[in-house]
Amino acid sequence: MSAAAPVIILVEPQLAENIGMTARAMANFGLAELRLVAPKGGWPKKGVREAASGAVHILDAATIHATLPEAISDLQYVLATTARERGQMKRAYAPDDAMADVASRQESGQRVGILFGRERTGLSNDEVSLADAIVTFPVSPEFSSLNLAQAVLLVSYEWRRAAGLARQPFDGAMTAPPASREAVLSLFESLETALGQAGFYPPEKRLGIIRNMRDRLHRMALTEQDVRTFRGALRALTRRVPHDPS
C-alpha cells in the first residue's frame, strides 16, 4: 500500500452502504486514507463494516471533520469530482489525466485530496471553489448519475494505473514446459494409428489429412502436460472393453 496515495474525502455522506463500499473500492486499489466531513446521522453507522467486505481497516482509521476546510487544511492540492459544469474557471480533467497529474505531484512530495459530494446533490459550488481543479467522468449524457462508491472506484483505479502499480495478478502464461519433439512425434504416431484402426482415413486422402492434423497440433504449441493428456485420452478411447459372455 502506497503512503503517497491520495486522500479520499467524502462530504456529508449519508448511507452506510456507500461509505463501506467506498472503503472496499479504496482497498482494492491501494488507497488507505479516508476522511469524512460531517457524515449524516453521525459516525460510526450501522451496517458500514458489513458493506466494506473486509476493508474495515480503512474505516477504523477514517477521520471525522466538522468542516471541509478542516478536512483539507494539510493538503497541497485538491480535486473536486462533479458531473456538472459549474461555471467556474477551473481546469477540468478526465479521471486518467487527473490521476496522471496527481501521481506526478506526489513524486514531488505533495499531499493530494479528492473530494466526493453527497449522494443526492453532490458538492456545492462553494465546496468546488475550494478545489484546485475538477475531475469529471465521461459518462453517457442520457444517464450521468454515478453512485458515490462507483466514482471512488473509478478514480482509485486510474490512480493505481498512473502510479505504475496496476500489474496483472496473472497473465495466463503456460506453466508446463513445451513438449519435446520426441513426445510430439510419438503422439502423432499414436493418434494416426488409432484413427487408422478406426477406419477414419479415406485411402485417397489419408496423407493429406495426416498432414493437416499435424499442422493443427503444431499450432497448439503443445506442452508436456498437453501430450500426456492427449495420450491418456487416446488410451481410454482405444482400450478394449472385456467381452461379457452373458
Mean pLDDT per segment of 10 residues, for the chain of length 246 residues?
78 95 96 96 89 94 97 97 81 94 92 95 94 92 88 96 82 79 94 92 93 94 92 86 54
Q: Given its phi and psi angles, is residue 12 left (phi above 0), alpha (psi -120 to 50 degrees) or beta?
A: left
Q: How many CB atoms lie within 10 A of CB 222?
A: 20
Instruction: Report the C-alpha gap between 193 and 96 in whole angstroms.
Output: 58
Q: What are phi and psi of 53, to 5 degrees?
A: 50, 50
Closest CA to 156 of 102, 118, 85: 102
Q: What is the pLDDT of residue 3?
A: 46
Cα separation, 36 vs 62, in Å, equals 7
pLDDT at 4: 76
pLDDT of residue 242: 55
Predicted confidence at residue 58, as pLDDT, reads 96
Compute the distance between CA of residue 195 and CA of residue 174 in angstroms, rounded to an integer. Answer: 29
Q: How many CA atoms lie within 13 A of 146 on its CB side?
A: 22
